[in-house]
Structure 1
């Protein structure tokens, strides 16, 4: 999906000369001398391609920005999440980054900074302290490298919740799982009644890793162990606790928690199984509420509620957690300078400043920003999610902490694991990939 905003041809040379002579700019990028405006072009890549409330809200911000800034030509391209991540890493290798792009905190940010591809936003951020100081504690950490901040989160992205249809649970006398045995019992009951226990669409192989395995693994190993293994300092992915987490994940597959062919359908097809009442549950991130609110049939939406994966017996992790990150942010290419940089910072502010955060919250999407939810206007399911998060901590999602090489091995390894692969062999592949990428 590609959308290019165009402007009429004009003589931009004079404006460029003014800029070169040091004309002062206001917040809109206007030159102080005579109020003329530079004509600039910016390429923008995002993953707001769906018809969920969040995607629609963010595309509207882009449209509104273009209307309010006719001096800027936005060339906007939308890609699905997995496609965007792949393409960003491809163009990063060739040093051909777009001007602004949705990026992920921690591992991706560090890799792009290491490659000299990003520019920090501290100067602009510090010029708006009322904005900078209103993020939740530690919200900027994942985008901060060596004391420099490279963007801010546009949302809050817990990645693992059980979404369940209360009517189906009640029909078969199943209780919401509070223990791992409860979950196994629910899976068994639904299978006996020809109901898919947990719909899964893992064609884009990050889904199982991000929405299910990252939380299961944390339940088993605990967060401290994972951070040591990720840094290859005091733990390895061949350790018994990690192999156990792979075994727990594999056991879900063996118990037929997921429908046949889950590696060959995508998230949209997964959601359709749930929308059609063929599945009692699916596991997805906080972003899923925006999809449910916009697209689920009313009879399904009204019966949908949210829980988290239960504790794993003998596990070392905190059971009141969900894997996740503080959210995605808009990276700014290091090559963007002058009037183009001014315009880029204004677009960054439109998307992730107070109004952007408000629009995101109102699209049934969590934010990493201190802003109150108007419960009288919010959908009840989003209110439920918002209340759940007040007592739920975020543990690291695997693809935010591991190197890109190891993430690919994890994602492919989980597909293999759920088709009967050997946990020890898969663990060794992950260990080798992470150690190799870090040179350890």
Structure 2
């Protein structure tokens, strides 16, 4: 992701914050200004930590202004290539990781190779090998290469958020197996409750489709799909199970038929209002759910019956090739990698990459980190479905909407998502 993360705002908003600071100018722009873009909501863990990083930047860089512009995830997703190829490129921005996004921009020469800076500042020592994979790309724009084009200061993974009050009200136990999950949904549906909050207009629905496939897959399957290291069959047991099960869940009423028109924000808001027992999505929602939900008890659990789940490093800090103040951008990234900022991120519902574990005192944050460690220990982070090919995000949204509204069969949907993947495979020499 996904995040496409979370706290992923669909609305474009602009805010300006003036800071003071110093640093060397590495371009022809205003040496006393750093233009910063990111798309995390102010109530998210990353939004809180990065706001504090801006304040720290102010203290340590007297004389420099930071112009912060908050962007919507979808807006950056669709316009990044055009903007970064113009004089309007920011100095530092958050961008989605993966072959179809950061990889594509690195291949096009729109991002700065920051490898020497990563080594000099020791960021490589803070990120595990699995987290480094999404930061590094080869000449084809395929992740896991030798050059650093981004760095992440947090991690993320998928999970099931659940309304404990509704579980108690209907006598439903937290499912430990896939069959128990289905039985729980049957019980909620019999009581007149649609079990799952789903957003088919954006990423949530196709991430659920991918999670269903992961429940029948292994690490080799993931590597073949994401890194083009082996044959990919979109009609194999895993993908067939995913598409047929998703369609079946719609027919059984586990997923509402109007979900095709609901975006990520609408899905999350509905869950936080207590309208649905469960929401399958990422850790990017965690801090927001924790700060927003006051009228019911909630918690989370790993998707049952699957060793693999969506997850990776978080989105990347990238420095556009046309950044006019690259040194200032590196200084800001460095602040977000320091323990003080990492500890704040962890206690705000995020997953830091370099925090002091003893400094994470919030109980729910501890659970979040413990579940993340469980996934890391079993090599269970399986990336995101839209990463393999440019434009794949829109393909997956459209295909999954067809499963929801019944306008295409599971086989037809699998054909639809296979075609652009195979076309891209030819383009990269796979």
Q: Could you tell me the TM-score, scaled by structure 1's length?
A: 0.82
Conserved 8 A contact 2:210-2:242 = no
Q: Which residue of 2 aligns with 1:103?
A: 95
Q: Aligned to 1:385, which of 355, 358, 368?
A: 368
Displacement of 1:294 after TM fit? 0.9
Bigger radius of gyration: 1
2:49 is aligned with 1:62 = no
2:400 is aligned with 1:414 = yes
Q: Secondary structure at the match of 1:398?
A: coil
Q: Which residue of 1 aligns with 2:194?
A: 196
Q: Secondary structure at the match of 1:45?
A: strand
2:121 is aligned with 1:122 = no
Q: Which residue of 1 aligns with 2:390?
A: 404
Q: Secondary structure at the match of 1:157?
A: strand
Conserved 8 A contact 2:90-2:323 = no
2:3 is aligned with 1:3 = no
Displacement of 1:365 after TM fit? 0.3
Q: Distance in 2 between matches of 1:30 and 1:90?
A: 27
Q: Secondary structure at the match of 2:154?
A: coil
Q: Which residue of 2 aligns with 1:84?
A: 76
Q: Distance in 2 between matches of 1:176 and 1:153?
A: 32
Q: Aligned to 1:228, which of 208, 221, 224?
A: 224
RMSD value, Cα: 2.7
Q: Which residue of 2 aligns with 1:217?
A: 213
Change (3 A) 1:172 1:330: same
Q: Aligned to 2:281, which of 268, 284, 287?
A: 284
Q: Which residue of 2 aligns with 1:261?
A: 258
Gaps of 5+ in 1: 9-26, 32-37, 312-318
2:339 is aligned with 1:354 = yes
Q: Which residue of 2 aligns with 1:155?
A: 154
Q: Could you tell me the TM-score, scaled by structure 2's length?
A: 0.84
Displacement of 1:113 after TM fit? 1.0
Conserved 8 A contact 2:271-2:277 = yes
Change (3 A) 1:247 1:134: same
After superposition, give the CA deviation of every residue in 1:357-398 in whole Å (9 maximum; x if it has no partner). 2332122101233531435x31x2222222222222433233
Residues matched between the structures, number: 398
Q: Distance in 2 between matches of 1:29 and 1:82?
A: 32
Conserved 8 A contact 1:40-1:71 = yes
Please identify runs of 4+ aligned residues in structure 1 that moved more than 6 A. none
Conserved 8 A contact 1:52-1:295 = no
Q: Distance in 2 between matches of 1:40 and 1:191?
A: 58
Displacement of 1:95 after TM fit? 8.3
